[in-house]
Structure 1
Amino acid sequence: MKVAVMGAGAVGCYYGGMLARAGHEVVLVGRAQHVDAFNKAGLRLQAQGFDETISVKAGTDAAIAAGADLVLFCVKSTDTETAGAQLRQHLRPDTLVLTLQNGTDNADRLRGVIPQPVAAAVVYVATEMAGPGHVKHHGRGELVIEPSARSEDVAQALVAAGVPTEISDNVRGALWVKLILNCAYNALSAITQLPYGKIVQGQGVADVIRNLVTECRAVASAEGVTLPGDVDAAVRLIAETMPTQYSSTAQDLARGKASEIDHLNGFIVRRGQALGIATPVNLTMHTLVKLVEQKKEPSPN
């Protein structure tokens, strides 16, 4: 396949890198500093079982995605519509656009912008951009994707590339479970600038996480969402399987970037308000992260 990664950050580079390593043609659309590094030296994929530099093409313009069979859509939730509009004119009518994003509504929002088929994916991977053109993989990597005309072929290609992938009829529920996990950990990691393994050792943290999850469950239930699996076990598993990982929100704040918190805890707060469900702990997490985002000067401490 020709695979285009729209939003070549840590997640997109990991999955794009795995597909390129398996022999697929991969092009990356990203920020200039990374694009320059990709084109000069390739993509360095430092995984748990290997450390390789992979040849890829990259650009800052979505035009490089022309002719793609598959697009891994990995931009921040705040950029979904803008990035979709940039892609639209360059894709074939049958190009599958797979959304590998946080939040529960990105696929629906993208369908309102582009005519190409869109399928949602739930991502469980711990990665970071360790430098220009360098993605570091800390753990996991499985995908759960929505059924579509092309999903079976894409899933087979991903599995062959070393990416555990399943197709689920309840991707909505799986996206909500991922949202709950993000609401449980992302803000805490961002505010403290600590990885998951250290967060859960903090005094009172277990109670805070339990309250965050309880509020999210209440909103999901009111939305009519069926949550698959054991949510409480999934919450515990995050810290156990990704103890050294910092949340994407923590990474954004550390770099002075706006985060996706409005689409995580902020989303729960908005839906709770609309449904008449109190979400005070999620509101607190959302408020604190927004305050950190607004800081102009570093703390004297």
Structure 2
Amino acid sequence: MGAGAVGCYFGGMLARAGHRVTLIARPAHVEAVRARGLRMETRTFDEQVPLSASSDPAAVAGCDVVLFCVKSMDTEAAGAQILPHLRPDTLVLCLQNGVDNADRLRAVLPAHAVAAAVVYVATEMAGPGHVKHHGRGELVIEPAAGSEQAAAALKAAGVPTEVSADARAALWLKLIMNCAYNAVSAIAQRPYGENVRGDGIPAVMRDVVDECLAVAAAEGVRLPGDVHPMVLKLVEAMPTQYSSTAQDLARGKPTEIDYLNGLIVRRGEALGIPTPANRVLWALVKLLETKRPT
């Protein structure tokens, strides 16, 4: 549900392994997939993968698992669209940025199993029906009814997947990574590897991470080890990746910045923790969202 770059990659991997997969996406994307299949251009293969595609949320009917991949701002609306069509035992996996999507979706789908999934993958849509994979591809899934079965299917399809009771901490770690990288990539319209070599950027990223860590601690989130080296290590795996926020801005689309740096700002205000570096990045991206294409 919401078959952009993330949904196409993981859905495509499952389809390639023989599972029946339907991508629910925008019409241009659906038409391309119906005509030619999904082109998966990855580091190890470049194939046209046959699968189904639809623009109708009712296409979730009868499925075992929904990979819920819509933008954070669309969580409640998309949840309400699929609600009438879900089987009682369908598992809904939230493959989304941010830390509160699963909780928000549970409020819409109170009778269904909903689990957060932490996504570590660098992908982009290179055109209708064409997903390009730049690196990684792991998932960490929150325990829920059906999580183990879904994880087994994903692992068998070549997706490194684990079910972890520490998924909340992993979600926060991913949020911190996004806060450090996404807005900078969006503002500069440059990939991670170039940005970290910019004058003053590593110091800005450190300030952002320190603020995120202070908010996480106040929220009672216990993160494993020293986060700063983990943040710096990300660029080694994805030096050519543009953030999803950068990709959205380049296409003139709204970004998820309110659920990344903006969430840190809001939680910081509520908890009495200053977050000036996150506030500046959030405000600049919001300003760029209003810029008309030239």
TM-score bracket for this pair, using the shorter chain length? over 0.9
* Deviation per residue, 1:212-246 (Å, 9 max, x gap): 00000000000001113442222112111000000
Counterpart in the other structure of 1:72: 67
Q: Deviation per CA, 1:39-79, whole angstroms, max 9, x where unpaired?
A: 11110011110001111111111111110000000000000
Residue 258 of structure 1: how far off its partner (Å): 0.3
Aligned-pair CA distance for 1:199: 0.6
| Alignment pair present for 1:13 and 2:8 | yes
TM, length-normalised to structure 1 = 0.96
Q: Does 1:237 align with 2:264?
A: no
1:273 aligns with one of 259, 269, 286: 269
SS of aligned partner of 1:89: helix
Distance in 2 (CA, whole Å) between partners of 1:292 and 1:51 is 35
Distance, in Å, in 2 between the alignment partners of 1:15 and 1:171 is: 19
Distance 1:166 1:119 in 2: 13
Letter aligned with residue 79 of structure 2: G
Q: Is the 8 A contact 2:252 2:293 kept in 1?
A: no
Structure 2 counterpart of 1:145: 141
**1:251 aligned partner:** 247
Could you say what secondary structure the match of 1:112 adopts? helix
* CA distance in structure 2 between the aligned counterparts of 1:220 and 1:280, rounded to whole angstroms: 16
Amino acid corresponding to residue 185 of structure 1 in structure 2: Y
Provide the residue aligned with 2:30 in structure 1. Answer: 35
Query: How far apart are the structure 2 equivalents of 1:167 and 1:64?
Result: 27
TM-score, normalised by the number of residues in structure 2: 0.98
Match in the other structure for 1:284: 280
Distance 1:181 1:158 in 2: 24
Q: Which residue of 2 aligns with 1:83?
A: 78
Letter matched to residue 8 of structure 2: C
- Structure 2 residues not aligned, in runs of 5+: none
**Aligned residues: percent identity?**
67
Instruction: Determine the C-alpha separation between the residues in 2 that align with 1:32 and 1:229.
Output: 45
Find the aligned partners of 2:227 and 2:34 in 1 and give their Cα distance.
Answer: 42
Note if 1:210 corresponds to 2:206.
yes
- Give the count of matched residue pairs: 293
TM-fit CA distance, 1:297: 4.3
Q: Does 1:61 align with 2:48?
A: no
AA at the equivalent of 1:7: G
Any idea what SS the aligned residue of 2:92 has? strand
Q: Which residue of 2 aligns with 1:228?
A: 224
Question: Could you tell me how far apart the structure 1 residues matched to 2:224 and 2:80 are?
Answer: 33
Q: Does 1:45 align with 2:52?
A: no
* Letter in structure 2 aligned against 1:280: P
**1:182 match:** 178
Aligned to 2:291: 295
From 62, 87, 91, the counterpart of 1:96 = 91
- Give, as a single letter, the amino acid of the residue that structure 1 aligns with 2:80: A
Letter in 2 for 1:160: A
Partner of residue 161 from structure 2, selected from 162, 165, 173? 165
d(CA) in 2 for partners of 1:229, 1:159: 27
How many angstroms does 1:170 deviate by?
1.3
The 8 Å contact of residues 180 and 209 in structure 2, kept in 1 or not, is answered as yes
Deviation larger for 18-27 or 143-152: 143-152
Structure 1: 5+ residue stretches without partners: 1-5
Q: CA RMSD in A?
A: 0.8
2:197 aligns with one of 201, 204, 209: 201
Q: What secondary structure does 1:233 align onto?
A: helix
Identify the residue that residue 3 of structure 1 maps to in structure 2.
Answer: none
Please give the secondary structure, in 2, of the residue aligned with 1:25: coil
For 1:138 and 1:267, the matched residues in 2 are separated by: 27
Question: Which residue in 2 is equivalent to 1:133?
Answer: 129
Work out the CA distance in 1 between the residues paired with 2:293 and 2:136.
36
